[in-house]
């Protein structure tokens, strides 16, 4: 017999689908059926990233299929690559290739209601390379997404299955829920977003189904003195956004609050905990020669981190896909790979203690679409896994209040990218180029001996005084779509 919690989740999903899918006729869904298979391949030559992607050149092959029956889609996708980032799943039989599951699940658009369940990449409702609640980095994750949208209001609730029965050491079952509430006034949208991250279980059905804001849900559920009190290891994050879209321009602003220091206003002489916040602004303007965009974002130190102290355990509820920063790629030799911050953060891709600026451009010269961007980032130390970076507790060194880019050295990085895509019937091809340099590059750093405590042994990323390092790469590929 399976775990009772898993049975409840399967039953709940089955009930939702059983009710939703038959409603298609009531919403005038089309009866067209189609099956599309796509096969793509790409060749990459790029500067190796030590302990991340060690190979100078590598290939990738992706196969995916999309079955559409009326308003219901079933999608599956798998990729094979020999970049050395992950271990070969069938050592000696797959010619050095490893496999990743890019997508697999079912979705239904039953306007004004939609549902998606399975493994997919996911996005923020705010369209930006610096979106805060969901990273613009396309990372597949197991999820159940429910959305309701009208001409005036919109609401989404999304569950993410982060970790379950993990082979990584000291990684508990973990999950997260992201909800967005909003109202639309013609071209203007205003919304509230919240996140709940929790450890010691992979999902929480009430967080998915109950629309009460997460801050209240969390505390009501775990408060004592009542018969429904639960033992919980949860964290809540909240924020707001506004965006405006019309034919002339697009602009937005977004704010994320992980923790707020009310004592700065209410009791300035008392203990000052750090503000843990992130912000993002930007927009795009279409012109006769193409579309130009400008974006800016930043986050204070410790934003997205879990909580821990010298006497309290690491809570493991940081806003990351994994509460670790490295994994063993070869159990025989003990060789490890580093999980880069941008591959781990669920929210803002550059994470805490960062400033970023990006200018981009796009234009279509039928049948070719061209995109280009240049980005500058400034980063201090950051810790996707260890609470308080190298410290056991926040004010261990006697400092209080908000901290931001106050390291002895800061990583400074410039990256320029360009891409061209062209489609010819069933065929498509692309070429992608990137080049840049980085000074005082972030390095995975062990905890100094004088700070090692009972629960802060996980390395963190810190800028190291190093000369500039150039990097770059080129990627060429194509695909064929076969409609059946």
Rounded distance between C-alpha atoms, residue 344 and residue 324, angstroms = 9
Measured over the CA atoms of residue 203, residue 205, residue 208 and residue 211, the dihedral's sign is negative
| pTM greater than 0.85 (yes/no) | yes
DSSP 217: H
Q: What's the pLDDT tens digit per position in 128-183?
A: 999 999 999 999 999 999 999 999 999 999 999 999 999 998 899 999 999 999 99
Q: Decide if pLDDT at 300 tops 60.
A: yes
The rounded percent of the chain whose pLDDT value lies above 90 is 73
Q: What is the pLDDT of residue 21?
A: 45
Q: What's the pLDDT tens digit per position in 253-281?
A: 999 999 887 766 767 777 778 899 999 99
> Which single residue is written with the structure tokens 């996005």?
123
Q: What's the pLDDT tens digit per position in 428-470?
A: 999 999 999 999 999 999 988 888 777 678 899 999 998 899 9
Q: What's the pLDDT tens digit per position in 97-112?
A: 999 999 999 999 999 9
Q: Decide if pLDDT at 188 tops 50.
A: yes
| Composition of the chain by helix, strand, coil, percent to 5 | 10, 50, 40
Q: Decide if pLDDT at 421 tops 80.
A: yes
> Which single residue is written with the structure tokens 């493991």?
316
Average pLDDT, the chain: 90
Contacts 24+ apart (CB under 8 A), 19-24: 20/108, 20/110, 20/113, 20/115, 21/72, 21/108, 21/110, 23/110, 23/113, 24/70, 24/71, 24/72, 24/108, 24/110
Rounded distance between C-alpha atoms, residue 280 and residue 193, angstroms = 14
Name the more confident of 18 and 280: 280
Q: What's the pLDDT tens digit per position in 24-33?
A: 443 444 457 9
Q: Decide if pLDDT at 185 tops 80.
A: yes
């Amino acid at each position: 017999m399976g775990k009772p919690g898993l049975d409840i989740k399967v039953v709940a999903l089955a009930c939702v689908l059983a009710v939703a899918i038959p409603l298609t006729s009531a919403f005038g869904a089309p009866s067209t059926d189609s099956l599309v298979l796509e096969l793509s391949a790409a060749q990459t030559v790029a500067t190796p990233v030590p302990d991340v992607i060690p190979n100078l050149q590598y290939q990738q092959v992706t196969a995916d299929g999309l079955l559409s029956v009326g308003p219901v889609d079933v999608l599956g996708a798998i990729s094979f690559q020999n970049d050395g980032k992950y271990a070969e799943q069938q050592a000696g039989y797959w010619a050095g290739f490893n496999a990743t599951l890019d997508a697999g699940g079912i979705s239904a658009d039953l306007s004004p209601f939609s549902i998606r369940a399975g493994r997919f990449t996911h996005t923020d409702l705010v369209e930006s390379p610096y979106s805060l609640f969901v990273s613009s980095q396309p990372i597949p994750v197991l999820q159940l997404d429910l959305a309701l949208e009208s001409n005036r209001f919109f609401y989404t609730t999304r569950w993410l299955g982060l970790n379950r029965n993990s082979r990584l050491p000291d990684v508990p079952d973990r999950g997260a829920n992201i909800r967005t509430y909003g109202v639309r006034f013609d071209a203007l949208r205003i919304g509230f977003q919240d996140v709940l991250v929790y450890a010691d279980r992979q999902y929480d059905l009430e967080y998915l189904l109950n629309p009460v804001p997460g801050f209240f849900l969390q505390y009501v559920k775990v408060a004592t003195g009542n018969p429904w009190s639960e033992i919980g290891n949860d964290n809540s994050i909240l924020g707001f956004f506004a965006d405006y879209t019309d034919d002339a321009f697009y602009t937005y602003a977004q704010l994320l609050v992980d923790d707020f220091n009310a004592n700065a206003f209410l009791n300035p002489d008392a203990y000052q905990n750090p503000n843990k916040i992130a912000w993002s602004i930007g927009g795009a303007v279409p012109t006769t020669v193409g579309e130009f965009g400008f974006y800016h974002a930043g986050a204070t130190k410790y934003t997205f981190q879990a909580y821990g102290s010298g006497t309290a355990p690491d809570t493991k509820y940081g806003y990351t896909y994994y509460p670790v920063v490295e994994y063993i790629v070869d159990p025989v030799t003990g060789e490890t790979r580093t999980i880069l911050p941008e591959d781990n953060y669920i929210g803002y891709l550059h994470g805490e203690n960062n400033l970023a600026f990006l200018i981009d451009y796009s234009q279509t010269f039928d049948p070719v679409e061209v995109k280009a961007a240049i980005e500058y980032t400034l980063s201090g130390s950051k810790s996707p896994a260890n609470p308080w970076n190298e410290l056991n507790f926040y004010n261990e060194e006697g400092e209080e209040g908000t901290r931001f880019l106050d390291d002895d050295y800061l990583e400074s990085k410039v990256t320029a990218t360009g891409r061209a895509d062209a489609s010819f019937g069933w065929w498509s091809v692309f070429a992608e180029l990137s080049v840049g340099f980085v000074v005082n590059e972030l390095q995975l750093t062990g905890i100094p001996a004088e700070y090692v405590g009972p629960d802060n042994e996980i390395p963190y990323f810190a800028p190291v005084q190093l000369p500039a390092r150039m990097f770059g790469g080129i990627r060429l590929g194509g695909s064929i779509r076969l409609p059946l």
